[in-house]
A = this chain, B = another copy of it.
Amino acid sequence: MTTKFSPTDRTRIHRLPAHGNYDRDVVHSILDEALVCHLAFVVDDQPYAIPTTFARIDDRLFVHGAAASRMIKTLAGGVRVCFTATLLDGIVLARSAFHHSMNYRSVVVLGTAEEVTDLAHKRRALDAIVDRTAESRSRCARPPNDKELAATRVLVLPIEEVSAKIRTGGPVDDEEDLALPVWAGHVPIRLRASDPIPAEGLAPGLVAPSNEKLL
């Protein structure tokens, strides 16, 4: 397996090309940290960007949804899709308004999704999605029964036409602005978890899963 993806005309980063990244490891690490993606698709000439959860296995992305969902029905029809995962890493304050920015890592994958109909593959993909909520969670929770499996459709999107875009660090001000009496720098931000809140009626003695690996 090569260590880099090959950008196409559509995935090559034109604006700020230095922020573009096509390394497989970088793409994977962003995908594995993001808990939510947005899927763009078109219905009746109207594009939509819909948030959903997902999982990655090797170079494949898996999303799922209710069998009746418009998004899943549309995407299962083999239309073009854009998968985007974005991590917001910081706010960048420059001396000039113009150079204000955000630090972020994002991945865009273009392609066509296919439904996963093989039941063993479908179960594996659903387990991977559940495992995004806590490590090995799919081994603790009651697995999907046949009715639940039938009510859920799983789609796979290959990670082939893909690029990452990354901005890090502080502001890049123009030299003539450097002495201005304006605070400049960056503020790192990240998702953090609070203490787990147990469900009502929980059987006694159960311990919440650690989310150390999650956030």
- The stretch that binds B, out of A21-29, A114-122, A205-213, is A205-213
The verdict on A133 contacting B91 (CB below 8 Å), with A15-B68, A192-B192 known, is yes
Interface string of A28-54 (1 = CB under 8 A from B): 000000011011111001111111010
Q: Is A76 an interface residue (CB 8 A)?
A: no
Please report the C-alpha to C-alpha distance between residue A190 and residue B192 in the assembled complex, in whole angstroms: 6
Contact of A51 among B106, B203, B206 (CB under 8 A): B106
- Which residues in chain A, 149-169, are within 8 Å of chain B measured between CB atoms? 152
**A82 and B49 contacting across the interface, CB-CB below 8 Å:** yes
Cβ-defined contact, B185 with A170, below 8 A: no
Q: Are A47 and B38 in contact (CB under 8 A)?
A: no
Q: Is the interface of A mostly helix, strand, loop or mixed?
A: mixed
A77 proximity list for chain B (CB < 8 A): none
- Please tell me which one of the listed residues B40, B94, B130, B179 contacts residue A100 in the complex, with CB atoms under 8 A apart: B130
A57 within 8 A of B: no
Nearest Cβ in chain B — how far from A19, in angstroms? 12
Size bin of chain A's contact surface: 35 or more
For residue A113, CB closer than 8 A to chain B, the reply is no
* Residues A82 and B47 in contact, CB atoms below 8 Å apart: yes
Say whether A108 faces chain B, with CB atoms less than 8 Å apart.
yes
**Chain B hits for A39, CB < 8 A:** 49
12 contacts between A and B (CB under 8 A): A15-B66, A35-B88, A35-B91, A40-B82, A48-B84, A50-B84, A51-B84, A93-B134, A94-B199, A187-B194, A187-B195, A187-B196
